[in-house]
Amino acid sequence: MGADKVEADPDDFQKAAEKTGAVRDKVRGILNTLETSISSYGTPWGNDKLGASFTDGEQGYFAARENLTGNIENVANSFNNFRSGQAQTVVALRRMEQANEGNFQ
């Protein structure tokens, strides 16, 4: 392929979209496993003043947990957005290819 040519294969974009969707699903699976594991421990720190000092506040466990799970969800959503863009590219390339077929007959 020369430097002045661009090639885009819809089948390659489709494969990429499927792989990106699989990454999204794995990240969501990790998040689900983490959330299940976290909830299975209950509140081992207790409900007293010492427990509250561990869990409460900007630097506490609850804030850290929300930040961690929120960030993982953001990663999954980003991969979903990438996958959607790749899938939309497949549709656009196939439409363009069909429209251009008439020009070469």
Measured at the alpha carbon of residue 72, what is the angle toward residues 71 and 73, in degrees to the nearest 5?
90
Q: Decide if 7 is inside a domain.
A: no
Residue 1 lies in a domain: no
The tally of domains found in the chain comes to 1
Q: Which tens digits make up the pLDDT trace of 1-43?
A: 567 888 889 999 999 999 999 999 999 999 999 999 999 999 9
- Categorise residue 57: left if φ over 0, alpha if ψ from -120 to 50, beta otherwise: left
Residue 48, domain member (yes or no)? yes
Q: Is residue 90 part of a domain?
A: yes
Q: Is residue 3 part of a domain?
A: no
Task: Identify the domain containing residue 82 by its residue range.
Answer: 12-97
Encoded amino acid at 39, one letter: S
Whichever domain contains 27, its CATH number is 1.10.287
- Residue-wise pLDDT for 41-78, tens only, equals 999 999 999 999 999 999 999 999 999 999 999 999 99
- 43 in a structural domain: yes
**Residue 16 covered by a domain:** yes
Report DSSP letters for the chain, one per residue: --TT-----HHHHHHHHHHHHHHHHHHHHHHHHHHHHHHHT--TT-SSHHHHHHHSSTTSHHHHHHHHHHHHHHHHHHHHHHHHHHHHHHHHHHHHHHHHHGGG-
In a domain, 49, yes or no: yes
pLDDT band at 103; cut points 50, 70, 90: confident
88/61 Cα distance (integer angstroms): 40
